[in-house]
Copies of this chain bind each other. A is one copy, B any other.
Amino acid sequence: MTKPLSIAVAGLGTVGAGVLALLRDNAATITARAGRPLAVTAVSARDRTRDRGISLSGLRWYEDPVALAHDPHVDVVVEAIGGSDGQAAALVRAALAAGKPVVTANKALLALHGAELAATAEAKGVALGFEAAVAGGIPVIKAIREGLAANDISRITGILNGTCNYILTTMRERGREFAEALAEAQKLGYAEADPAFDIDGVDAAHKLAILAALAFGRPVDFAAVHVEGIREISALDIRLAEELGYRIKLLGIARRTDAGVETRVHPCMVPIAHPIARVDGVFNAVVAEGDFCGRIVLEGRGAGAGPTASAVVADLIDIARDRRTPVWGVAGSALSQVPSVPMGKRVGAYYLRLMVVDRPGVIADVTAALRDHHISLESMLQRGRAPGEAVPVVVTTHDCEEAQMRAAIARIQSLEAVVEKPALIRIEAL
């Protein structure tokens, strides 16, 4: 038995306390798998007196998390503070600069500062582990970075936010509108009091930026991700999707095309038969498509104390075993400079749902707008007749460019008979 790995944990919220509990509960298993004990020896948190259900006796306590980076008896730092900047970033920077490996669950930090942090980690020759930053307990980072490392990846598709998936599932299963489903998710603890980060797609976009960097071996680029959330999804669209053979999911998609790499997070219609369409509730899933491995689907719990701690400790075991992988899968000098493709260049099919006043000539105006932008129709559906009143009209298109579609919608929206903002949902042929 070699000497224990001495671990400092910064932040004792859900993630940090979960890591302590896991290291305590599964100590024997973890010691065997790591080849030596994993021992937490120092912690930092805001409130020393709060009852977290775990004993902190015998641990060195720091008010200032950054001090953990300078404790000479600490081998590795777990950052469980959260947030893309502030103390979390200060601690990770200080620890790497001090030559200590870091493990974090912080997707915002990685998505925004991952390139800089990776450069420091590489210069110092230390690990920066972030399995817990994406899809919680599902080992997607390891799978893409090591398990599928021999493949040229063509596409990564993920249900990356359990809150959104829970809300969309509730809307479909119980016919709820968005606001009701959100309130329910909040009551159950699946959505935060301020849910914007989740429901506006930002959290999923952080994770997608990380997956795209790994899959395509390029610098992480959050700014290039096109982000839309689920606030505008209606129960009506979910019902109509079902009739057309689709499910509506908030997906993160990173795709390699001839033009470069597309990265986008937005509601999608996916064929009901596709495995990702059936991933419901708070579950996450990631689909990776490689040229030799084919399509791999990984599914499980994307959040919560247990799954997140499982991922953090997996990274710690890698460090204890001295298993080393460059932060983004390849050395900084080997990162590719393949360009990002702007959203306007997305090519695919679209679902467009309008509310129009039911009177002669409206459909002709709508279809003329589409024709003038060279968009051809796959199907058209007018549901119900109510002369003089607003009724839904649904159009699905053949493949066209997003920019064309946007231009057509601008014209359609200006028609007097179109009484609401059109609902546009992209159809993904996965």
| Minimal beta-carbon separation of A5 from chain B (angstroms) | 13
A420 and B133 alpha carbons, distance in the complex (Å): 57
Which residues from chain B contact A297 at a C-beta distance below 8 Å? 297-300
* Contacts known (A293-B301, A294-B301, A323-B325); A313 close to B146, Cβ less than 8 A: no
Partner of A150, one of B301, B304, B309: B309
Residue total for A at the interface (Cβ-Cβ under 8 A) = 60
Which residues from chain B contact A310 at a C-beta distance below 8 Å? 148, 150-151, 290, 292-293
| Minimal beta-carbon separation of A298 from chain B (angstroms) | 6
Query: How would residues 134 to 150 of chain A score, 1 for a CB under 8 Å from any chain B CB and 0 otherwise?
Result: 00111100110011111
Which residues from chain B contact A331 at a C-beta distance below 8 Å? 32, 35
* Contacts known (A147-B131, A151-B26); A329 close to B298, Cβ less than 8 A: no
- By the criterion CB–CB under 8 Å, are A325 and B314 in contact? no
A267 within 8 A of B: no
- By the criterion CB–CB under 8 Å, are B314 and A149 in contact? yes
A324 within 8 A of B: yes
Partner of A317, one of B150, B291, B299, B317: B150
Which residues from chain B contact A29 at a C-beta distance below 8 Å? 150-152, 217
Which residues from chain B contact A329 at a C-beta distance below 8 Å? 32-33
* Contacts known (A32-B334, A323-B324, A324-B323); A296 close to B138, Cβ less than 8 A: yes
The chain B residue sitting closest to A29, CB to CB, is: B152
Partner of A296, one of B148, B298, B324: B298
A299 and B131 alpha carbons, distance in the complex (Å): 19
A129 and B404 alpha carbons, distance in the complex (Å): 51
| Minimal beta-carbon separation of A269 from chain B (angstroms) | 20
A391 within 8 A of B: no
Interface of A is mostly: mixed
The chain B residue sitting closest to A317, CB to CB, is: B149
A330 within 8 A of B: yes
A307 within 8 A of B: yes
Partner of A307, one of B22, B32, B292, B298: B292
- By the criterion CB–CB under 8 Å, are A143 and B150 in contact? no
A254 within 8 A of B: no
Query: How would residues 201 to 216 of chain A score, 1 for a CB under 8 Å from any chain B CB and 0 otherwise?
Result: 0000000000000000
Q: By CB atoms of chain B within 10 A, which of A29, A138, A148, A313 has the most? A: A29
A359 within 8 A of B: no
A275 and B310 alpha carbons, distance in the complex (Å): 22
Partner of A291, one of B25, B217, B311: B25
A48 within 8 A of B: no
- By the criterion CB–CB under 8 Å, are A148 and B139 in contact? yes
* Interchain residue pairs with CB less than 8 A apart (11): A22-B292, A30-B150, A139-B148, A148-B310, A148-B314, A293-B300, A294-B300, A294-B301, A296-B300, A298-B299, A321-B325
Q: Which 5 A-B pairs have the closest CB atoms?
A: A139-B147, A137-B293, A150-B313, A293-B310, A296-B300
